[in-house]
Amino acid sequence: MTTAPGPTVLDAASLLCEVADELVVKTVRDTHTAWVDRVHGLGRRATGATGASLPERVHRGIADAVYAGLGGGLRLASTGLDRAAATGVGPRLEDSREGRFVSSAVNGLIGDRLLRERPQMAIPMGLRLDGRDVTPEPASLAAAYPEATGHLVVFLHGLCENESYWWRRRETAGPTYAEALAERGWTPLLLRANTGLPLRENGAALTGLLQQVVEHWPVPVTRIALVGHSLGGLVMRAAGAVAAQVQEPWTAKVSDVVTLGTPHLGAPIAWGIGHGSRGLGLLPETAAFGRLLDWRSQGVHDLVAGLAEDVPPLPHARYRLVSATLTASERHPVGNVVGDLLVRPRSAYGRDRRGRTLFPDAEVLHVGRTDHFGLLNHPDVHAALERWLA
C-alpha cells in the first residue's frame, strides 16, 4: 500500500486565487462594463451625442485600473503559492476529511482542466483502502487484503464524490454496503476517480485498473459485481465497452451490475446548466455569468445525454437498476418530474418516453421518500444487495 504525496492546502489556495481572478473579478468587470455601455449608450442616443463623454472615460479608466489591480494581485498571489507548494510545505488535502471533500468536488467540477493545467491536483483512478491508495501489484494487494476471496464487489462513487461517501449516515443507518457484503464472503474494493474527466476516458482508466487487479489478485477471481452510484454507474458501463476490446477481459467474470440513481439517459440538472449558459450568453450584461457555467467539466457535460445504445450492457451480466424519488410513489407527479432531485426514475431505469429500454432484462427497484444521496446507505438497497449477491 502506498500513499502519493498529493496536493497541499497551498495548491488549493493557489487554485482559489486563479478562480477568483478568472471568474469573480472578470465576471464583475465584464458585467460592469456592459451596464456602463448600456446606460451611456442610451444617454448618447437620447441627446444625439457621439463618442464617449469625459465622465464616461473617467469612469471607465478608474474601473479598468481597479479590476486590473485586483486581477494582478490575485495572479501574483497564485504564482507565489505555487512556488511555495512546489517545495512540499503545508498540510496535504488528503490529511483531513474537509480536504478530501474539496479535492473530490473540485475534480468533479473542473477535473479535466486540472489534469491539463494542475496535474498535481487531478485525482488518478485508483483503488482505495483506509484513506490510502493501493497499487494493483501482487505484493501490495496481498498486504492490503490478507483475507481476499475470489468474489470481488467493486464500488465507484458519483460526480464530485469520493470513496468515503459510501460511509454516509453510517452512525445512524448501520453497516455500509461494503461491510455487509464482506460478511457474506465478498471482498469489497472501493475506487476513487476524477469525475470531471470524460466518461470514456474514465472507462478506459477503470478497465486498466481492474484488469491489473484481476491478474494480480492473491487468489483466483471467480466472480465480480459492480456497484456504481450516479456517474459511477456510467463509468462502469463505459469500462465494459472498453474491456470488450481486451483479450480475456475482467468483464468475463462480471455476474452483476448494480446502478444506484445513475442517469443512463441523462440528468435534467446537467441539461439545464447547458441551456442556462447559452441563455445568459445572449445579452452582454449576463454573458459573464454564462461563462461561470461554462467552467463545468466534461464529466458534467457527459451527464446531459448519459450513455445510449452505443454502449450496450454486458451480455452475460444481470443488471439491477435502482431509482429514488422524494415521494413515496414514483408515479406521483412530483416524484416523476423531480425524481431524487438529480435523476428521474425513467433515466435511472434506462427507459425513454417511447418505452424503449437499454436493459431489457434488468430488475428494477424504486426507493421512495429519499434523495439522490440517500441511496448510498439505505435499508431497502441493503436488502436488495443481499438478495442479488447471495
* Per-residue model confidence as pLDDT tens digits over 178-199: 999 999 999 999 999 999 999 9
* Contact assessment for residue 162 and residue 100, using Cβ atoms and an 8 Å cutoff: yes
- The pLDDT value given to residue 136: 97
- The pLDDT value given to residue 281: 45
Residue 220 has pLDDT above 70, yes or no: yes
Q: What's the pLDDT band for 20 if we cut at 50, 70, 90?
A: confident
Compute the distance between CA of residue 307 and CA of residue 359 in angstroms, rounded to an integer. Answer: 12
Compute the distance between CA of residue 314 and CA of residue 210 in angstroms, rounded to an integer. Answer: 16
User: How far apart are the two ends of the chain, measured CA to CA in Å?
Assistant: 30
Summarize the chain as % helix, strand, coil (round to 5): 55, 15, 35
Compute the distance between CA of residue 23 and CA of residue 9 in angstroms, rounded to an integer. Answer: 21
Residue-wise pLDDT tens digits, 352-381: 988 899 999 999 999 999 999 999 999 999
Compute the distance between CA of residue 264 and CA of residue 44 in angstroms, rounded to an integer. Answer: 54
Compute the distance between CA of residue 199 and CA of residue 163 in angstroms, rounded to an integer. Answer: 18
Note the pTM of the prediction, 2 decimals. 0.86
Residue 147 has pLDDT above 50, yes or no: yes
**What average pLDDT does the chain have?**
86
Residue 206 has pLDDT above 80, yes or no: yes
CA–chain centroid gap for 199, Å, is 10
Q: What's the pLDDT band for 324 if we cut at 50, 70, 90?
A: very high
Q: Can you tell me the mean pLDDT for 140-168?
A: 97
Query: How many residues appear in the chain?
Result: 390
Do the bridges between strand 126-129 and strand 187-192 make them parallel or antiparallel, or are there none, so unpaired? antiparallel
- The pLDDT value given to residue 276: 41
Q: What's the pLDDT band for 24 if we cut at 50, 70, 90?
A: low
Helix 199-216 with 231-243: angle, nearest 10 deg: 70
Residue 275 has pLDDT above 50, yes or no: no
Residue 19 has pLDDT above 50, yes or no: yes
Percent residues over pLDDT 70 in the chain: 82
Q: What is the CA radius of gyration of the chain?
A: 24
* Contact assessment for residue 203 and residue 242, using Cβ atoms and an 8 Å cutoff: yes
Residue-wise pLDDT tens digits, 156-175: 999 999 999 999 988 888 89
* Contact assessment for residue 125 and residue 206, using Cβ atoms and an 8 Å cutoff: yes
Q: Among positive and negative, which fits the CA dihedral 57, 61, 62, 64?
A: positive
> Strands (DSSP E) along the chain, which ranges?
126-129, 132-134, 151-156, 187-192, 223-229, 254-260, 318-324, 363-367
What is the DSSP code string of 27-57? HHHHHHHHHHHHHHHHHHHHHT--S--HHHH
Q: Can you tell me the mean pLDDT for 11-30?
A: 76
- The pLDDT value given to residue 245: 80
Residue 280 has pLDDT above 50, yes or no: no
- The pLDDT value given to residue 103: 94
Number of helical (H) and strand (E) elements in the chain, helices listed first: 15, 8
Q: What's the pLDDT band for 290 if we cut at 50, 70, 90?
A: very low
Q: What's the pLDDT band for 145 if we cut at 50, 70, 90?
A: very high
* Contact assessment for residue 15 and residue 272, using Cβ atoms and an 8 Å cutoff: no
Q: Can you tell me the mean pLDDT for 217-243?
A: 97
Q: What's the pLDDT band for 42 if we cut at 50, 70, 90?
A: very low
